[in-house]
Structure 1
Amino acid sequence: MTIESVRQFFAEHAPDLDIIELAQSTATVALAAEAHGVAPGQIAKTLSLRAGETAVLVVARGDARLDNRKLRQVFGSRTKMLPADEVADLTGHPVGGVCPFGLARPLPVYCDVSLRDFDIVMPAAGSIHSAVRITPERLALLTGAFWVDVCQAAVPAGG
């Protein structure tokens, strides 16, 4: 799995998209933003959660924080982060490289409206050294994602 499954996914569904591979790690929002020369918010982080009995992926802007009340409203139950070994098993991607593309198992994908703050976002691409430049709308379309509002309001820079 990992980056190869993402390559295969793009070959089948979006052959015009190129995976960007870097020598340095982009496993955290801060590292990825610095490596790609973008704002931390443009890094589209993919969070693996358990909502009730269901594992789900939530893709949000990199500097956003989840809002527990909003999560409960959307999913109808408490949510919790999945442990790293379960994330790798369900997605086929290592923590730091998790993305909604080329998944090991089909999972529901939700895109937080915070992504729409940017014309281009950069989710990982199956490894801690890879990413892809994509519009939020295309990301949602390619993954069959549902748009949700599950993050706290963004704090303006310097505020």
Structure 2
Amino acid sequence: MSLESVQAFLAVHAPDLPIIDQGASTATVALAAEVLGVAEGQIAKTLAVKVGDERFLIVMAGDARLDNRKTKDSFGARPRMLPAEEVFELTSHPIGGVCPFGLAQPMKVCCDVSLKAFDEVYPAAGSRTASVRLTPARLAALVDAPWVDVSQPQIVTVE
């Protein structure tokens, strides 16, 4: 049902965006980046969190990590990751294929500013082998997501 719900969502809201089915697992950021031939940061990972009583999705760069202080400052409390069963119930997507498209239930979606470092990003498409390629701005617009800054700053090392 999950891939189909994403296909149905895109058919209505973005018929020009094809789903890329790699035929290989993209269930982790590292696998997805390798299969797609892109940087890990370009994988737009979707985190399902609970802050207080509110459950919502945060889409961020694949190499970014949540900053608990920033999340608390932005949303009023520390985030808690949702268990896999609850994620599936709310989104209809399995872990490794979670994305903000074609959700089983309406949910708030936020996009982290870490995505803006890339011209194109690759969120999953409701399955562990499928994704979509689009700009961060279009991703946010498609799901009516506000931009938030809840990721840890990237540490750049010079060799």
Provide structure 1 residue ranges, at least 5 long, that are not aligned to the other structure: none
Q: CA RMSD in A?
A: 1.0
Q: CA deviation at 1:78?
A: 1.9
TM-score w.r.t. the length of structure 1 is 0.98
1:60 paired with 2:60, answer yes
Structure 2 gap ranges (5+): none
Question: How far is the alpha carbon of 1:156 from its aligned partner?
Answer: 2.3
Please report how far the alpha carbon of residue 155 of structure 1 lies from its aligned counterpart in structure 2 after TM superposition: 2.0
Structure 1 residues 32 and 157: alpha-carbon distance in aligned structure 2, compared to 1, 3 A threshold: farther
Aligned-residue offset at 1:157: 5.6
Distance 1:120 1:149 in 2: 19
Offset at 1:23?
1.4
Structure 1 position 132 matched with structure 2 position 142? no
Residues in 2 aligned to 1:157 and 1:116: alpha-carbon distance in whole angstroms: 20
Rounded Cα–Cα distance in structure 2 between residues aligned with 1:59 and 1:52: 19
Runs of 4+ in 1 over 3 A off after TM superposition: none
Deviation for aligned residue 1:158: 5.2
Give the secondary-structure state (helix, strand or coil) at the position aligned to 2:31.
helix
Aligned to 2:45, the other structure's residue is in SS state strand
Q: Using the alignment, how far apart are the partners of 2:44 and 2:126 within structure 1?
A: 13
Q: For residues 157 and 47 of structure 1, what CA distance do their matches in structure 2 show? A: 26
Instruction: Tell whether 2:16 aligns with 1:16.
Output: yes
Q: Which secondary structure does the structure 1 equivalent of 2:155 belong to?
A: coil
**CA distances 1:87-146 after superposition (whole Å, capped 9, x unpaired):** 000001000000000000010000000000000000000000000001000000000101
Instruction: Report 1:30-109 matches (<5 A).
Output: 30-109=30-109
Shift in alpha-carbon separation, 1:11–1:86, aligned structure 2, 3 A: same
Give the Cα–Cα distance (whole angstroms) in 2 for the partners of residues 2 and 22 of structure 1: 16
Shift in alpha-carbon separation, 1:44–1:20, aligned structure 2, 3 A: same
